[in-house]
A and B are shown apart, each in its own frame.
Chain A
Amino acid sequence: MENNLLALLLLLPFCGSVLAFSLPSDRLRPLLLPLCATPHLALTFLVIQSGRPLTTANGWIGVDPLSRLILPVISLLFLGCSFYAVGYLRCRIAWGNRNFVGCLLLFLSAMTLATISRHLGLLWVAVETTTVASAPLIYYNRNRLSMEATWKYLLLGSVGIALAMLGILFIAYAGLAGGEHVSLQLDDILHGAANYSRPWLRAGFVFLLVGFGLKVGFAPLHTWKPDAYGEAPGLVGALLAGGLTSVAFLALLRTLQIMDAASEAVMAREAFLAMGLLSIAFAAVFVVRQPDFKRMLAYSSVEHMGILAIGISVGGVATFGAMLHLINNALTKGVLFLAAANIHRRFGSKKVADARGAISLVPLSATLFLLGFLAITGSPPFAPFISEFTILQGVFSNGHFVTGGLFLFFLAVIFIGMGSTVLSVVFGTPPEKTGTGYENYRDTFATTGVPLIMLLIIFVLGVYLPDPVRHICADAAALLEVRP
């Protein structure tokens, strides 16, 4: 019964995608998105509620505490974006949406598979499918810039994921050289990892870190990110920054689990720490005086992936903080990208020079953008404050004073850098004449309802953390704790 649940979870968006490609009507097709996303979320809740560990007979697909954390995040974010997409695609009905809707659902299916796969090969296939399925989404606007962004994304993503495949093969070879049964099933690997050949295991880890790190967008592998997030439609940006990065981060966490099981945790965690600090530093450099507010959000995504990596590497209470931060980052990025998309549409530009004074023209979107900025930079009372504070607490209580100091310094720089851009977008003097945007665009419930609800969720999570959420995060964190 429960295995059928998992199959349904995968097949639902996949069948929706097939249907979307075959449906002739551009007007009705977007409705498929909420029609698939709503039962997907319901099924997700059924899956995370059943207390028993769900695994298929061959152990390739299963739900563990980490999947329980990431699956609802993706599902919820996608549901929000699917409702937003209905309103968005109605605005752009002449542009056609067959590929867009079909690829969105395929993307959801691939992300779901990645979160519940317990076989490294299957995980790889799922992550590669997310790349292929999301490339047409980035290309939606069909202009020169989106073409360039898509090409870079596709080529870098494919090469990166190919490196990850090499890493997976190295890990399998580590098993072979260590005299263990060769398998890529995660439980088999975790069981035998103690005997794995060290050189191959370490080489495999490095390749996996680079390969999946490229998808996550750690600096200096993030170069595709500002281009892709900047040129993609806002709701795709939200799904990439909140969903895809979480899935790719999960792949890295699986790698970390393997390294922990092989008692190589020290090396792995040092690598995570270095990547994390480097990402925050890069983000701080590029976010200051950033003239394009969507690219600014991409650098913010680089920053938050860095924060996650630091939280994981420090361990202890910071691991819990990182797990919570993963949820908060995904939802806050949803608010920011969707609000930014509305502002972008009103002004016909995403340059700060052209888009100023949004508060007088699109008051609700501008307010959401401002509040989203305050939330993502860790201001109370929003949830990212709690999670960033927990991570920081973990960093200091574990004696990483230099890391903690740098972390705080870069966070402050990013706050000021993002702040100057956001404030001039929201409060600046509106330009005399706006560009070729939709000048008659007004905030409606269809375009602001979803980010508003997401903002409310992170507000509530910031004020009061419900027990189920706390348990999910704590269970996921327990899985990543180093067992001596």
Chain B
Amino acid sequence: MDTLLNLLLLLVILLNFFLLGSSRLVSCIRTIAFQGGILSLLPLLAHGFSGHTLFLAGVAFLLKGIAIPYLLFRAIRQVHIRREVEPLIGYVPTLILGTLATAGAFIFSGRLPLIPEHSQSLFVPVGLATLATGFLMLISRRKAITQALGYLIFENGIFIFGMLLTEAMPLMVESGVLLDLLVGVFVMTILMHQINREFSTMNTDNLTSLKE
């Protein structure tokens, strides 16, 4: 079980790098869906099969693996864009920053005052690295949709970290969290559609009229 778990977590990191380096939106969204699918397996592998983990895995798979990617695909189909051009920071620099952040996450989590059972666990470093990836994506991309993707990766990082604490999060609350994420993404995609219709592009560079 544990080897499979660690393997999956390392795969999450690889997907992070792929997301930072990829310029095609379709493959970015597919990767996010794949990452979401992997995350939904984590509760089962980490805490065994029980009603709680099965339900959580099911809801996470439905929302992170299927519903949210579907909404994103629909959004890019509506606005006819396929390729993310001209990121604010180039792909290679973002990848280098991502590598540094990931290495930093591993070093940093080695120094955290974790309880003994968690000191060898990959949840903390992978969670932190995914958070950093999401943050990097948020600040380095200018399209509205890639910013939304960054937010989703960020949320994935929190989900991974939360795996250490499933007993603290009751099911109802956990599903509420995931549902809020879904509705948030839904509203974001509607807004993207409107932004695109109004400006004929989804670049958030146009969203700079409001300032002092």
Q: A residues within 8 Å of B by Cβ?
A: 119, 121-122, 124-125, 128-129, 131-132, 135-136, 139, 142, 144-145, 147-152, 154-155, 158-159, 162, 165-166, 169, 172-173, 175-177, 182-184, 197, 199-200, 226-227, 230-231, 286
**Inter-chain pairs besides A148-B209, A172-B165, 5 sampled, C-beta below 8 Å:** A125-B180, A148-B210, A162-B155, A166-B131, A197-B113
Question: Of A122, A144, A155, A173, which one neighbours B147 at CB under 8 angstroms?
Answer: A155
Whether the pair B144, A151 counts as a contact (CB closer than 8 A) is yes
Interface residues of B in 193-212 (CB under 8 A from A): 194-195, 198-199, 204, 206-210, 212
Q: Are A147 and B198 in contact (CB under 8 A)?
A: yes
Q: Per a CB cutoff under 8 Å, which of A150, A155, A182 touches B165?
A: A182
Assess whether A177 is in contact with B151, with CB atoms less than 8 Å apart.
no
Verify A159–B151 contact, CB threshold 8 A.
yes
Q: Which residues of A contact B154 (CB under 8 A)?
A: 159, 162
In the assembled complex, the Cα of A128 lies from the Cα of B179 at a distance in Å of: 10
Cα(A142)–Cα(B195), bound, Å: 10
With a cutoff of 8 Å between Cβ atoms, the chain A residues found around residue B147 in the complex are: 155
Check if A173 sits within 8 Å of B165, measured CB to CB. yes
**Which B residue's beta carbon lies closest to that of A199?**
B113
Cβ-defined contact, B176 with A145, below 8 A: no
A355 to B167, CA, bound (A): 57
A169–B162 touching, CB < 8 Å: yes
> In the complex, A334 Cα to B51 Cα: how many Å?
48
A152 near B164 with CB under 8 A, answer no
Report 29 cross-chain contacts, Cβ distance below 8 Å, ordered by A residue: A121-B169, A121-B177, A122-B176, A124-B173, A128-B184, A131-B184, A132-B180, A132-B184, A135-B191, A148-B207, A148-B208, A148-B210, A149-B210, A152-B210, A154-B184, A155-B151, A155-B188, A159-B151, A162-B155, A162-B158, A165-B158, A165-B177, A169-B158, A169-B161, A172-B168, A176-B115, A176-B164, A177-B113, A197-B113
Given A139-B191, A197-B113, A145–B168 Cβ distance below 8 Å? Answer: no
Assess whether B183 is interfacial by the CB under 8 Å rule: yes
A contact residues around B177 at 8 Å (CB): 121, 124-125, 128, 165
Given the known interface contacts A145-B210, A176-B115, A177-B113, the answer about A166 and B161 at a Cβ–Cβ threshold of 8 Å is yes
Question: Looking at the complex, which one of B131, B167, B183, B207 makes contact with A147 (CB distance below 8 Å)?
Answer: B207
Task: Kindly state the separation between the CA atoms of A119 and B173 in the bound complex, as whole angstroms.
Answer: 9
Question: Is the CB–CB distance between A151 and B195 below 8 Å?
Answer: yes
Known contacts A165-B158, A177-B114: A183-B194 contact under CB 8 Å: no
The CA of A227 and the CA of B8, in the complex, are separated in Å by: 42
Contacts of B191 in A (CB 8 A): 135, 139, 147, 150-151, 154
Contacts of B170 in A (CB 8 A): 119, 121
Which 3 A-B residue pairs are closest in the complex by CB-CB distance?
A121-B173, A125-B176, A148-B207
